[in-house]
Amino acid sequence: MKTKVYSALILLIIFAGGCTIPNYLPQSREVDVNQQGSYIKITPIQGANVKGELLAVDTTNMIVLVDTNEQKIVKFVPLIEVKDFTLRYARSKKYWWTILAYTALCASHGWYAIITAPLNLIVTSAVSLTSANDFTYSMDDISYVQLKMFARFPGGIPSNIILSGDKMNIR
């Protein structure tokens, strides 16, 4: 029994550590003053996923700034080739600490902890998992026209910015 509990806790810690989001996304209270675009993950009909900052959306393409470890690359993804996308426009609040804290608090319940500890574990896990998707939209939730609001340049790429090849230059 102890092995199962320890294994579950270790898996939960590993899972929580793997859920990271880009640093340029604002806190939820700073959404209205953020100057950068939202994080988007595009699943094309064919090929690999495209992940990065949404720069602009026009009538034919989504323009995404992909940050690899070596360089930043601007990718144009045609709208007709998009199978699905997930957009995250702010950092979600982290409630992972509540799982362990509230489950441990059940020790004060005495023998009733046999019932309350699993219930607290289920409820706090559910709250933590659902809060991770608080500030996200998918293709089912938002249209391409509405998607422009979450881009760095909602009105399109300005004329003083040159997108050529794999670089973005600002004049």
pLDDT at 164 over 80: no
Lowest mean pLDDT among 27-36, 87-96, 108-117, 120-129: 27-36
Q: What is the mean pLDDT of residues 68-95?
A: 83
pLDDT at 90 over 70: yes
Crossing angle of the two packed helices 2-17 and 96-105, in degrees rounded to 10: 150
Which pLDDT score is estimated for 156? 81
Which pLDDT score is estimated for 147? 86
Assess contact for 50 and 67: CB atoms under 8 A: no
Which pLDDT score is estimated for 126? 81
pLDDT in tens, 102-155: 788 777 878 888 888 888 888 888 877 776 667 788 888 888 888 888 888 888
Assess contact for 38 and 87: CB atoms under 8 A: yes
pLDDT at 170 over 50: no
Cα–Cα distance for residue pair 77/50, rounded to 1 Å: 8
Residue with tokens 């289920």: 122
Tell me what percent of the residues of the chain surpass a pLDDT of 70.
72
Average pLDDT over all residues of the chain = 76
Q: What residues does 52 pair with on adjacent strands?
A: 40
Which pLDDT score is estimated for 93? 72
Q: What angle do CA 103, 107, 108 make, to 5 degrees?
A: 120
Assess contact for 21 and 39: CB atoms under 8 A: yes
Which pLDDT score is estimated for 140? 86
Report residue 29's pLDDT band, with 50, 70 and 90 as the boundaries.
low
Q: What angle do CA 157, 64, 51 make, to 5 degrees?
A: 165
pLDDT at 69 over 80: no
Cα–Cα distance for residue pair 157/159, rounded to 1 Å: 7
Residue with tokens 């675009």: 37
Report residue 16's pLDDT band, with 50, 70 and 90 as the boundaries.
low
Q: Using H for helix, E for strand and C for coil, what is the string for the chain?
A: CHHHHHHHHHHHHHHHHCCCCCCCCCCHHHHHHCCCCCEEEEEECCCCCEEEEEEEECCCEEEEEEECCCCEEEEEEEHHHEEEEEEECCCCCCCHHHHHHHHHHHHHHHHHHHHHHHHHHHHHHHHHHHHCCCCEEECCCCCHHHHHHHCCCCCCCCCCEEEECCEEEEC
Q: What is the mean pLDDT of residues 81-85?
A: 90
